[in-house]
């Protein structure tokens, strides 16, 4: 049986315990057992502990506290070591599966290695999000195992705006806000590995929404080496 190594914690305003519980249930429905890790070194430890066919899911917010991110760091003890990213990047590019959820794209202060894995990073002073509210999610990208049988749906969530996107990102799901199309979900090959980035998932209700939960289950299976695309 494949394993999900789930990294949580560090994200103020997000209930890591309930979100983690929801992601464990989604993973169980996808046939994966879950090991939960927390702490500033948890992303590195997850990559070290994951085996062939496993997937690392990150729903966390650990900052290195470089300016201007330093103003958002509540506890210096939560700083990850930037060298951890060498381990994580090597694991993904060597064939690992990564699912980056919601706050994951804010981790590591937009370090180019993490941005290159996730396909986007929060840009301090540019990126933003409105308060949580109803989000109409539209399927606008190509056919993909992550989105099979997932149609348009609505969920209460946060929408991240003006992220620093990589050029090779092709959104599978988007929303429209103030007349602009905003990417929400994409899936990419990174080296020999597979990465799904899902910007939704602010809380348990979003994680366990029937349509979003189906999407997440399919994302986990694909990142763990499921159906080809």
- Whether cis (ω within 30° of 0) applies to the bond prior to 68 is yes
Buried b / exposed e along 174-212 (16+ C-beta atoms within 10 A) = bbeeeeeebbbbbbbebeebbbbbbbbbbbbebbbbeeb
Of 164, 155, 228, nearest in space to 197 by CA? 164
What is the rounded average pLDDT for all residues in the chain? 93
Q: What is the pLDDT of residue 2?
A: 86
Q: Examine residue 156 and state whether it is found in any structural domain, yes or no.
A: yes
3-state helix/strand/coil string of 53-104: CCEEEEEECCCCCCCCHHHHCCCHHHCCCCCHHHHHHHHHHCCCEEEEEHHH
Coil, strand or helix at 47: helix
Beta-bridged to residue 57, according to DSSP, are 6, 99
pLDDT tens digits, residue range 47-103?
Answer: 999 988 899 999 999 988 776 776 665 566 678 999 999 999 999 999 999 999 999
Counted residue by residue, the chain has a size of 229
Q: Count structural domains, the chain.
A: 1
Q: What is the pLDDT of residue 72?
A: 65
Q: Examine residue 163 and state whether it is found in any structural domain, yes or no.
A: yes
What CATH number should be reported for the domain holding residue 113? 3.40.50.880
- Record the tokens describing residue 212, joined without a space: 């979003």
Q: Examine residue 228 and state whether it is found in any structural domain, yes or no.
A: no
Q: Examine residue 109 and state whether it is found in any structural domain, yes or no.
A: yes
pLDDT tens digits, residue range 118-142?
Answer: 999 999 989 999 999 999 999 998 9
Q: Examine residue 55 and state whether it is found in any structural domain, yes or no.
A: yes
Q: Report how far Cα 45 is from the mean position of its chain's Cα atoms.
A: 17
Q: Examine residue 92 and state whether it is found in any structural domain, yes or no.
A: yes
Of 132, 88, 143, nearest in space to 111 by CA? 88
Question: Taking residues 159-178, what's their average pLDDT?
Answer: 97
Cα distance between residue 185 and residue 100, in whole Å: 10
Cα distance between residue 8 and residue 103, in whole Å: 10
Where in the sequence is the domain holding 217, given as residue range(s)? 3-223
State yes or no: pLDDT of 229 exceeds 60: no
Provide the pLDDT confidence category of residue 12 given band limits of 50, 70 and 90: confident
pLDDT tens digits, residue range 15-37?
Answer: 999 999 999 999 999 999 999 99
Q: Examine residue 47 and state whether it is found in any structural domain, yes or no.
A: yes
Helix ranges, the chain (H): 16-29, 42-49, 84-93, 112-118, 204-208, 210-223
Q: Examine residue 229 and state whether it is found in any structural domain, yes or no.
A: no
**pTM recorded for the entire structure:** 0.95
């Amino acid at each position: 049986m494949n394993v999900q190594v789930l990294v949580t914690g560090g994200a103020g305003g997000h209930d890591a315990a309930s979100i983690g519980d929801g992601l464990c249930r989604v993973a169980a429905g996808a046939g994966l057992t879950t090991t939960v890790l927390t702490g500033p070194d948890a992303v590195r430890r997850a990559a070290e502990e994951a085996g062939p066919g496993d997937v690392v899911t990150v729903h966390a917010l650990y900052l290195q506290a470089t300016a201007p991110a330093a103003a958002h760091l509540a506890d210096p003890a939560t700083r990850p070591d930037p060298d951890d990213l060498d381990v994580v990047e090597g694991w993904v590019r060597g064939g690992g599966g990564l699912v980056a959820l919601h706050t994951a794209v804010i981790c590591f202060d937009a370090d180019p290695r993490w941005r290159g894995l996730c396909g986007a990073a929060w840009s301090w002073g540019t990126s933003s999000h409105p308060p949580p509210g109803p989000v109409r999610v539209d399927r606008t990208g190509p056919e993909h195992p992550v989105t099979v049988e997932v149609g348009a749906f609505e969920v209460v969530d946060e929408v991240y705006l003006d992220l620093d996107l990589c050029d090779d990102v092709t959104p599978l799901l988007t929303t429209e806000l103030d007349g602009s199309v905003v990417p929400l979900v994409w899936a990419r090959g990174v080296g020999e590995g597979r990465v799904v980035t899902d910007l939704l998932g602010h809380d348990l209700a979003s994680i366990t929404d029937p349509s979003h939960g189906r999407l997440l289950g399919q994302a986990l299976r694909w990142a763990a080496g499921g159906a080809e695309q």
